[in-house]
Structure 1
Amino acid sequence: MTDAINDAIRKVPLLAPLILVAVFLAISTDTFLTLGNLENVLVAAAILALPGLAMTFCLAMGEFDLSIGSTVSLSGVVCCSAMIAGQPLPLALLLALGVGALIGLANGLVITKLGVTPFIATLATMVIVRGASLAYTDGHDQIVSSAGLKYLVGGRPLGVPMPIVLAVVASALAWWAVNRTRFGRWVCAIGSNRDAALMSGLPVDRIRVSVYVLVGLSGGLWGLLISSQLQKGNGQLGLGFELDAITVVVLGGTALLGGRASIIGTVLGAVMIETIRNGLNLLNTPPAYQRIGVGLLLIAALALLALRRRDPAATPNRIPARAQESAA
């Protein structure tokens, strides 16, 4: 029984801290456990989990994307400005997602074909895309009033908020991809040892580009969800969002150096961050200190990962068995 509990804690390290935080907030505030507040937490966590799931593949590959926050901004303003210009909503949504995919494709090609490191490439893309977003809007909000766009966040199919529906579907697909497909096994194999993956004949560059396109698409979707909430696009939206997307993945236990992915951990990481943010709001904590809290969480997660790497008993094999077979 004890071994089973220890194994569960190793696989889902955030579960116990999340329960402790929830208990603390339930004691400290009168409104945390109300149905309306818990729904708000889950909706916010679902919106954050969607890009976090894509970023999980990127980090499992041993890389990361700093441009996702800028992608949120540009995709949002493209969607809203297209609607203002009279384009139908489906086309505006596709344009926004297409912008995200193109940004991801550009990142992947620059990194794989030009040999630019992911940090430099995505940092440059972050600056370029942010500038393009501000230039596109000339610093003005692109305000819309669309019930169709609002449905992305406000819709309730079968009584369940739409972001939660999207997050559940995306989480199931991501788990299936990581654990049941060659693509997921190859991503982890590349993150564990890229040279070995190359020598094994894996299409390394193609997989890396595909992952960056996936992250770009998730940034586009994130931008649509934020624009749906605010009913506007703005060149300043998405500032600091890249930190959130990376933090939920690292908090969830995905190896920062690659080779391992935890889909359940990423989802719990999103719930953890939004639970803490919600609690800080209920405790009337200024927004600036909330950003500090997210940064401290990231540092704590990195420190925990470093300690776990020093303990062989607590660190599972970085490549799943199937990934080892694929790389053999």
Structure 2
Amino acid sequence: MTDALRKAPLALPLLAVALVLAVTTNSFLTVGNLENVLVAAAIVAIPGLAMTFCLAMGEFDLSIGSTVSLAGVVCCSSIIDGMPALLAMALALVVGAVIGLANGLVVTKLGVTPFIATLATLVIVRGLSLAYTDGHDQIVSSAALKYLVGGRPLGVPMPILLAVLCTALAWWTVNRTRFGRWVCAVGSNREAARVSGLPVDRIRIAVYMLVGVAGGFWGLLISSQLQKGNGQLGMGFELDAITVVVLGGTALLGGRASVIGTLLGAVLIETIRNGLNLLNTPPAFQRISVGLLLIAALALLGLRRRTVKAAPVPVTVREAAA
């Protein structure tokens, strides 16, 4: 039991929040409402899983929210121009990959710190989104695009199914592949990883591209929900992606990744948001709650570092290089 709680520390807080909402509201435990919570959590969890690799590497990407916007408007405008929906969606993912590649190259080849590099990308890509749309909505009516969120294969909402598949793939990558070990090794000690022969720059670029593709897919999911693209979409989404990862227990300074924790972090945030909606709380307080959760998670991480004298590093550089 103790080991299970250590691996999934958000299980008890999530249960506590659910119990409070079950007592204080009449509709929280309805099937439809719980499904809405899980769908919303799945949409956040998918890019959160990619961000897990980035934080485990000891870095982060602030541009993912702007990637959401540009990928969405590229997809929707392409469909409006007559491009087949599947090809337009693939183009949106390519856009995300290119943004990630640009981030990776700036960080590794130019030596710009991730904070400055991805902050600059955030501003540039947001500007491209607004220029691309000239400030107008790109409204579409596409059954294929809508299926990303509205589809129900085997009776399961598509976002939930996609999140389960992505979680399984991410867990396997972190725990069963050299790439997962390499990412954590780079986060533990980048220079030691480089001396040990790991392709550090290629690993970093690959992770930034992964985050970019995830941001592009996030943009497709949001556009699927709204059936439109807009240059303003995705603002603040980078906070959501980072928060679910930090809440889940992935080390902010790198070296450790918690895939299941990220998934639970997404469910916790969306449960709280859902509860605030049911309690008729003003929307602004939803953003405040996310910020407070992030501060609480960082405070707990700091407390853990002070109280745990010798926390073992899950993946050493020597193990990763083997």
TM-score clears 0.5? yes
Contact 2:276/2:286 (8 A) holds in 1? yes
2:315 aligns with 320
List structure 1 segments (4+ residues) > 4 angstroms apart after TM superposition.
Answer: none
Question: Residue type of the partner of 1:93?
Answer: M
Contact 2:196/2:318 (8 A) holds in 1? no
1:211 aligns with 207
SS at match of 1:81: helix
| Alignment equivalent of 1:227, drawn from 219, 223, 229 | 223
The CA distance in 2 between the partners of 1:70 and 1:96, in whole Å, is 13
* Pairing of 1:13-52 with structure 2 (within 5 A): 13-52=9-48
2:291 aligns with 295
Question: Residue type of the partner of 2:240?
Answer: D
Question: Compared with structure 1, are the counterparts of its residues 283 and 185 closer, same or farther at alpha carbon in structure 2 (3 Å cutoff)?
Answer: same
Residues 1:72 and 2:68 aligned together: yes
Query: 1:316 Cα deviation (Å)?
Result: 4.3
The CA distance in 1 between the partners of 2:110 and 2:43, in whole Å, is 33
Residues 1:107 and 2:103 aligned together: yes
Deviations 1:123-149 (A, max 9, x none): 000000000000000000000011111
| Alignment equivalent of 2:156, drawn from 157, 160, 163 | 160
| Alignment equivalent of 1:53, drawn from 46, 49, 52 | 49
Deviations 1:218-246 (A, max 9, x none): 00000000000000000000000000000
The count of corresponding residues between Structure 1 and Structure 2 is 322
Contact 1:192/1:319 (8 A) holds in 2? no
For structure 2, the 5+ residue unaligned runs are: none
Deviations 1:92-131 (A, max 9, x none): 0111000000000000000000000000000000000000
Residues 1:147 and 2:143 aligned together: yes
Contact 1:189/1:319 (8 A) holds in 2? no
1:248 aligns with 244
Contact 1:26/1:33 (8 A) holds in 2? yes
Question: Residue type of the partner of 1:81?
Answer: S
2:90 aligns with 94
Query: 1:8 Cα deviation (Å)?
Result: 2.1
1:189 aligns with 185
The CA distance in 2 between the partners of 1:317 and 1:275, in whole Å, is 32
- After superposition, the CA RMSD in angstroms is 1.1
Query: 1:324 Cα deviation (Å)?
Result: 4.0
Question: Residue type of the partner of 1:21?
Answer: V
Contact 1:76/1:233 (8 A) holds in 2? yes
SS at match of 2:79: helix
Deviations 1:64-100 (A, max 9, x none): 0000000000000000000000000111011100000
Query: 1:327 Cα deviation (Å)?
Result: 4.1
Query: 1:7 Cα deviation (Å)?
Result: 2.3
The CA distance in 2 between the partners of 1:159 and 1:290, in whole Å, is 30
Sequence identity percentage: 79
For structure 1, the 5+ residue unaligned runs are: none
The CA distance in 1 between the partners of 2:228 and 2:261, in whole Å, is 32
Q: TM-score, normalised by structure 2?
A: 0.98
Contact 1:50/1:218 (8 A) holds in 2? yes
Question: Residue type of the partner of 2:42?
Answer: A
Question: Residue type of the partner of 2:241?
Answer: A
